[in-house]
Amino acid sequence: MSSGEFVSNCTADSLAQAAQLLKDGGLVALPTETVYGLGADATNPSAVARVYKAKGRPADHPLIVHIHSMQSLGDWADEIPSYAISLARDFWPGPMTLVLKRTILAEDFVTGGQPTVGLRVPDHAVALALLSAFEKIGGKGIAAPSANRFGHVSPTTAKAVQEELGEYLETRDQILDGGPSTVGVESTIIDCTSDSPRILRPGAITIEMIEESTGLKVSTAETNIRVSGSLENHYAPNASVHLNRDPILGEGFIAMAQIETPSGVVRLASPTSIEEFARVIYSALRDADARHLNSVVVAEPAGDGLALAIRDRLMRASKGR
């Protein structure tokens, strides 16, 4: 059955309805500044099970719980180190997920059976308004992985959610349209369960930002914590993705604007900055599939910070599905 309401006019009334739908066990795809998420009441096992089913996601793969403000941290997390509070103060709302020891509110069905939980306050007006409306009716948090089939390219528009998941949603479920995501790659995931922070997935919040906020060196020690987007192959379109080689006739090409397009090659994106590169990378990969291209070549951006996050996603995309 194809999905029901596609809500582009996110009024207070429509957000109150969406919050009630979550409370009643429905699913709501919501915009965030990173990518669009497929949301369910994070305390409702049957609703969360529907998220896993719609995505085709392995049950031991944990979900990130979105909360309205850092005031809700104590509901979900236990033994919160002071450096995690510093990070939350400095970067929430924002593209950062903190992994902390869980309370009894965070059950196995949302944590993938791990003793930790990932928490985030998104920096998007529609997402925050939905979380606020949900809180007002007793909601504690929204579990929301990216709104795509497992291993596929994350959606950065409501239209991409509809194309990707429409057939897997029920008529009552909703997709809220909050415009294109402004960051474009998923949040930085930071493990806060030991003496110093450790990055489990790179994103827009960089090592330098974390170290400046906490006054601590970011740990590079190995960890066995499972998090979203950590599998070797992920974020992949149907087209095969090739990195840092010359594209040939009929291939798609994504590169910084100053790099020219060879003759007969389909230019998919020409970002002029690293921020724009992050913002357009997923929509460009989706465009490759819409054009039925067999392969896409990406000239990866150099540098640290956000460029590192882009290269992480592209490396996983290049491994295929």
Largest CA distance in the chain: 59
Query: Which residues neighbour 9 within 8 Å (Cβ) at sequence distance 6 or greater?
Result: none
Judge whether 144 and 154 are in contact, CB under 8 Å.
Answer: no
Tell me the C-alpha distance between 44 and 25, whole Å: 7
Query: Which architecture, in CATH terms, is 240-317?
Result: 3-Layer(aba) Sandwich (3.40)
Same fold, 5-214 and 240-317: no
C-alpha to C-alpha distances, 250 to 281, 297, 319, nearest whole angstrom = 19, 11, 21
Domain coordinates in residue numbering, the chain: 5-214, 240-317
Residue 141's nearest CA partner among 41, 19, 25, 18 is: 41
Tell me the C-alpha distance between 297 and 295, whole Å: 7
- Three-class SS state of 63: coil
Q: What residues are paired with 64 via a beta bridge?
A: 118
pLDDT in tens, the chain (321 residues): 355 567 777 888 999 999 999 999 999 999 999 999 999 999 999 999 999 999 999 888 999 999 999 999 999 999 999 999 999 999 999 999 999 999 999 999 999 999 999 999 999 999 999 999 999 999 999 999 999 999 899 999 999 999 999 999 999 999 999 999 999 999 999 999 999 999 999 999 999 999 999 999 998 778 888 887 666 677 789 999 999 999 999 999 999 999 999 999 999 999 999 999 999 999 999 999 999 999 999 999 999 999 999 999 999 999 987
Strands 116-120 and 96-102: antiparallel
Query: Which architecture, in CATH terms, is 5-214?
Result: Alpha-Beta Complex (3.90)
- Three-class SS state of 118: strand
